[in-house]
Every structure is written in C-alpha cells, then in structure tokens.
Amino acid sequence: MMDAMVMLGMDAVTVGERDLSYGLSFLTQNVKAKKLPTVVANMNHAGSGKPVFPAYVLKTAGDVQTGIFGLITDKGNYGPSTDSIQVTDPVAAAQATVKELRAKGARVVVLLSQLGKVESEDLVANVEGIDAVIIGRNVPLLTKGRMIKNTVACYGGEQGQNIGRTLLTLGAGNRAVNGENDVFRLGPEITDKPEILEIVKAFEEGFNEKMRKIQKEQEAEAATSAADDSPDRFLGAGLCARCHQSEYEQWKTTSHSVAWQTLVDAKKDATPECVPCHVVGFEQPGGFRTAAGTPDKVNVQCENCHGRGTDHDAFNGHEVAEQDCIVCHHGDNDPTWNWDEKVPLIVHSNTSGITIKNKKGVKPSDLKKMMGASH
C-alpha cells in the first residue's frame, strides 16, 4: 500500500489503528524506507513525548499555500503499539496545528481524520479554520459530501474502492469561502494502472500462497474435528441431487455453480474475507474447510439458500427470502444488488444460463474490482 501511495504521488497520508497492528517500529521503518509523507498531529513517542511523525505538510499549488495535517483517534485499539505511543486530545491538537498553519501562511487547511464519522464532524464543527476534512475509520460511503459549518466533509467508505474529489471556492486573500465534494466508485470501467496492478498482484500471490500453507497445516486437524461429528451438518449438493435432479441441473446453469472459480481466477481463493461467500457451510460441521480437504463444498450450493441438509425435514415448504441472499449480496460485495431483478435469473424455473453467460469474458482484474479490494 505504501508503494502504491508513493507511485500515485500522495502529498500526505495519515495513520489509523490498523497501521499500528505490527508495532510502531515496523510502521516507522517502512514510512522512512518508502519516503511516504506521513502526518499525525496527536501521536507521540510514549517515552520522550516527541512526535512520531510531523504534524503537517505545507504544499503550494499555483499561488495558494495549503496545509495538510492528520489526526488519529484517542479511543482506539493500537495493539502491539499501545505501550510505544501516547495519543493526545484530537481537539487540542487540531486547534494548535490550525493556528500554526495559518501563521505560516496556509490559505487552505485540510484535515486527514482517523477519528470516525461522528468525532470528525464534532471536531470540525468546534475547531475554526479547517476548510476540508477527509474522514476515515469505519466511515460510510456518501457520494455527496456535507458542509459542516464552514468545512466540507468527504465520506469515501472503506477498502479503497472509491475516490473523492473536493472543490473549494476561494475568495479574497485566497481563503476558502465554499466547497463541495463528490465520491466516485472505481468500478470495472476504470482501467488498471499497470505499475499498481503489478505490486497488487505480487502481494496477493504471496499472501494467497501463505494462506494455502496455513490451510494445509490445519487440514489434518480439520478432518478429524469433533465439530464434524455433529448430527447437524452440511451435506453438499451431490446428496441433494439424488432426489432433486432437475433443480440440480438447473443450478449448474447459474453463476452460483462457478462461484469458487471466480475466486481462483482473481487469486482470492485463500483470502479469508472472500471465501465464506463462495462456498457452503464455511468452517461449520460438514461444511467447507479447504479446497483440497472438502472439494465437494466449493461454490454456492443448495444449502446456502435452502438451509442445512440435516434440517431437510423441517423445511416444510420454506421459501428463499431476500434475507437469505443479503448475507453475501450487500454493500461493496454487490453494489448493484436488487432482489426483484436478480432472483428471477437464478430460480429453478430459469434454465437460460444467463448469469454464467454474463460472466464470460470478464477478466480476472474485473472480477477483483467486482469483489472489492479485499473481497
């Protein structure tokens, strides 16, 4: 991610809780090695009290000097970095930083906030002089930003699937007098930057291989798991087909029957966030454990929609409801989900095979975008 940020020419980035997951030294060493312009105004070394990173950067565009500073939440879980850092009050840090930036000639001030939606909004409402805020930390996606008093706010969602554009209108003395923000989805129609695609591919292949090794180590244990001895278990589509052959044959004409292959093609078949929605009974009794150990449980099968096989006698005409689908078809996983439009394409009376036909010709890179940055 740091390599990509440098390639994209980022003027400034800030730090969130997850960036501290491998310890402070790991983070600071990588920032230094990559020469990534990192700013945090309220994070200090626990021992010395000295700032871990600069509070801000000053950038000039045309004849307008812009100050960019960052804030990290003081209510976070910093993992192994907890004893290494001291996080100060964001409001006090913001007030001091804005004052210093204005004194140094900044006509525009931008905050990179890792405080979350509510705290970010409260802060800019109470700290004068912040013209724009880009909000991070479990933030919803809003395609149109909001004006909070005199600050325009950007809500770009999670996972890097969107990009925000903030336009500020400058008045006398090149001071911001108004602003607007739009967020754009980076869908399959946005072509890949080859240099970025190369480093993403290298990471995903390495990560996928690492996860495969872990899965192989766990396979023996999973095969003899006591949980798999449970009488309540998943059975697999092969057993369902014994009595429901026509439904089984129709299922094979739908994209559900090739759901696992989409992960394989996108090199996501060992990514924990992606696997559960492309298999049946993930890590449950009788369900999917690994592709090698439970090959009959790959793909979205009968039991994903109709319930566990050993509960068959209790179905009593159970009809599939939208609630069964949105377990996986929700949010960034399936931004175009529409129950009324999508369900008729896969019901057992539809043998057109249209959902598989729609997937033909889709490149692995497009599949990655359809599934999201990490799903």
DSSP 117-179: HHHHHHHHHHSTT--EEEE-SS--B-SB-EEETTEEEEEB-STT-EEEEEEEEE-GGG-EEEE
pLDDT score at 233: 87
- Do 110 and 164 reside in the same domain of the chain? yes
Q: Are residues 160 and 12 in the same domain?
A: yes
Mean of the pLDDT values across residues 37-52? 96
How far separated are the first and last CA of the chain, in Å rounded?
Answer: 16
Confidence of residue 362 (pLDDT cuts 50, 70, 90): very low
How many other CB atoms are found less than 10 A from the CB of residue 312?
Answer: 16
Same domain, yes or no, for 277 and 208?
A: yes
Q: Point out the domain boundary residue: 164, 185, 206.
A: 185
How far CA 169 is from CA of 4, 98, 181, in Å, comes to 30, 19, 12
pLDDT at 212: 84
3-state secondary structure of 212: helix
* One-letter identity of residue 193: K
CA angle in degrees (0–180, nearest 5) for 67-183-61: 30
Q: 271 pLDDT band (50/70/90 cuts)?
A: confident
- Are 109 and 167 within one domain? yes
Looking up residue 281, the CATH number of its domain turns out to be 1.10.1130
Residue 38 clears pLDDT 60, i.e. is over it? yes
53 and 110 inside one domain: yes
Q: Is residue 138 domain-shared with residue 230, that is, in the same domain?
A: no
Q: Count Cβ atoms below 10 Å from residue 6 Cβ, excluding itself.
A: 14
Where does the pLDDT of residue 156 fall: very low under 50, low under 70, confident under 90, or very high at 90 and above? very high
Of 185, 202, 237, which one is at a domain's C-terminal end?
185
| Domain range enclosing 241 | 194-371
Same domain, 128 and 247: no
112 sits in which H/E element: strand 108-114
Query: Which pair of structure tokens corresponds to residue 280?
Result: 């049946």
Residues 108, 217 within the same domain: no
* Per-residue pLDDT, 53: 98
The 3-state DSSP class for residue 94 equals: helix
Collapsed DSSP state (helix, strand, coil) of residue 208: helix
Predicted structure pTM score: 0.65
pLDDT band for position 226 (50/70/90)?
A: low
pLDDT at 369 (0 to 100) = 47
> Running DSSP on this structure, what letter comes out for residue 282?
T
φ/ψ of residue 364, rounded to 5: -55, -35
Token readout for 190 is: 């946005």
Q: Which residue has the higher pLDDT, 101 or 364?
A: 101
Domain containing 90 — which CATH number?
Answer: 3.60.21.10
**What distance in Å separates the CA atoms of residue 106 and residue 277, rounded to the nearest whole number?**
48
Tell me, yes or no, whether 220 and 325 share the same domain: yes
Q: Is the dihedral of CA 327, 329, 334, 337 positive or negative?
A: negative
For residue 61, the model assigns a pLDDT of 86
pLDDT above 70 for 314: no
pLDDT digits (tens, 9 = 90+) for 80-112: 999 999 999 999 999 999 999 999 999 999 999
**Average pLDDT, integer, range 34-43:** 97
pLDDT band per the 50, 70, 90 thresholds, residue 221: low
Residues 91, 139, single domain; the answer is yes
Of residues 212 and 146, the one with the higher pLDDT is 146
> Strand, helix or coil at 296?
helix
Q: Which of 60-74, 181-195, 343-357 has the highest mean pLDDT?
A: 60-74
pLDDT digits (tens, 9 = 90+) for 172-188: 888 888 999 999 998 88
Same domain, 233 and 181: no
pLDDT band with cut points at 50, 70 and 90 for residue 354:
confident
Please count the structural domains in the chain: 2
Considering only CA atoms, which of 241, 260, 107 is closest in space to residue 171? 107
For the chain, how are helix, strand and coil distributed in percent, rounded to 5? 40, 20, 40
125 plus 262 within the same structural domain: no
pLDDT recorded at residue 222 = 59
- pLDDT-derived band at 364 (thresholds 50, 70, 90) equals very low
Q: What is the mean pLDDT of the chain?
A: 88
Domain end call among 161, 185, 209: 185
